[in-house]
A and B are shown apart, each in its own frame.
Chain A
């Protein structure tokens, strides 16, 4: 059974700081890994999707890496801004199970 863990559960940083969010998964037989952003009371916004054959993806100030062999992914946010404050979720997709398994998220607060 796939399990996804995100550490830390919460993070508070001053504006402008670079930060790393961590995601680990127990079964390396994944199809892809996706990072989402969720604002309070809202749905999921997809940030980055990394296919199992890829090592990283970048979008603007965001960079996500994937190490399947160790069951780890990181989301790097450069020059954080107050608008980055949200909960960040990672999810791994298993083709055999036909579903995504999510972590419980890291809640990020960026202070002005």
Chain B
């Protein structure tokens, strides 16, 4: 049984560009949450998707947006990338709203 799958594993983008990160939840999970982990810090909650709608949102600007598909997979989109967006982006899935199973993350570097 596959766990949470994130793609790509690493990504390098130029400041001002847009990026899309993808997450496939663990089988049987219908809720996906996204976190940003800057170097040397703990993960920070970005937002959560359930039933294809954003249910909760952390303190992140509108440049961060997401989507959940009918198969429960999810995308995180970041527009107008800043150097400060460089981080490890983690996806967690869960059955309904509870603490989740984390993927291995996508390492985004903005240059």
Contacts and interface: CB of A to CB of B under 8 A. Distances in A.
- The yes or no verdict on A and B being binding partners is yes
Interface of A: 4, 31-32, 34, 36, 41-44, 46, 49, 89, 91, 93, 95, 97-105
B104 interface: yes
Contacts of A93: 98-99
Contacts of B58: 99
Interface stretch (B16-24, B37-45, B61-69, B71-79): B37-45
B101 A46 contact: yes
Contacts of A101: 45
Contact of B88 (A43, A95, A99): A43
B33 to A, nearest CB: 7
Nearest to B47: A99
B99 A89 contact: no
A105 B99 CA distance: 18
Given A93-B98, A101-B45, 4 more contacts: A34-B99, A42-B105, A43-B90, A98-B55
Interface of B: 33, 35, 40-45, 48, 55-56, 58, 88, 90, 92, 97-105, 107
11 contacts: A4-B42, A32-B99, A34-B99, A43-B88, A44-B43, A49-B99, A91-B99, A97-B56, A99-B48, A100-B33, A100-B99
A46 B102 CA distance: 8
Contacts of B107: 41
Counting from the closest, the 7 A-B pairs by CB-CB distance are A102-B42, A43-B104, A93-B99, A99-B45, A98-B56, A43-B105, A44-B102
A102 B43 contact: yes
Nearest to B38: A104
Nearest to A9: B40
Nearest to B33: A99
A98 B48 contact: yes
